[in-house]
Amino acid sequence: MPALVFDCDGVLADTEKDGHLPAFNDAFAEFGVPVRWDVPTYAEKVKIGGGKERIASDLPDPDGAADLIRHLHARKTQLFLERVRDGQLPGRPGIHRIVADALAHGWTVAVASTSAEPSVRGVLEHAVGAELAARCHVFAGDIVPRKKPAPDIYLKVLDDLRLDPAECLVVEDSGIGVQAARGAGLAVVVTVSTFTADDDFTGASLVLSHLGDPGDPLAVVSAPAGVRPEGMVTLADLEQLLPTNQEESR
């Protein structure tokens, strides 16, 4: 059966500007670290895969500050989860609907992210509900040696779940995410998020504003593979984008 693999931040929910950014800044303040990121600065930081790596990028001696980075990031994760639980970061249009439909039709559904696992599980549960979240596989945090744009996280998903790349489709929101998925030989749908509108999505099969819901229609940004959903993405649209079906249509 086919598989649908989601990135977390910017895909399940638009979490960066109103979730991760203030959580980082609050953690910096609590730890007395003289760093505070504004929105333009953080727009550059999101191009770095991994929260600990983002913190390290602004420290003068990151190798000598490994314990500080680890503890600061753990506190940042707690602060972020408080925002998730307070309902400040709703799921993006179409996420609950597509996950429910895919699972109902026997698809494998997974989330693959370089964010900390508690953050990913928290966002997933808030976006689709605990019952559906429990049926999704989660790959997150430091489980691979290299983070996006390296393909390691997607290669691990393929290996651990024994998936056929030709039967898999990834939903990403960033240029580095597209690079990671394509590096693993996977087809990609992009749902653009707050900080990624100007990213390079070369290699994506479809680029959208979001997946769409009744009363909240999507906008097609580009459709290199020739599939143009109307109003909202359906499972049938996604099936057309699977590499096996793309080959058959040529």
Q: What is the set of active-site residues?
A: 7, 9
Q: How far apart are CA 43 and CA 160, in angstroms?
A: 32
Question: Which spans in the chain are helix H?
Answer: 21-30, 39-45, 51-56, 66-85, 95-104, 117-128, 130-133, 152-161, 175-183, 235-241, 243-248
In angstroms, rounded to a whole number, what is the distance separating the alpha carbons of residues 153 and 55?
Answer: 21
CA distance 1 to 106: 7
Tell me which amino acid residue 49 is.
G
Distance CA 132, CA 74 (A): 26
Tell which residue, 84, 129, 97, 128, has the closest CA to residue 211: 97
Contact 45, 37 (CB under 8 A): yes
How far is residue 50's CA from residue 103's CA, in Å, rounded to a whole number? 28
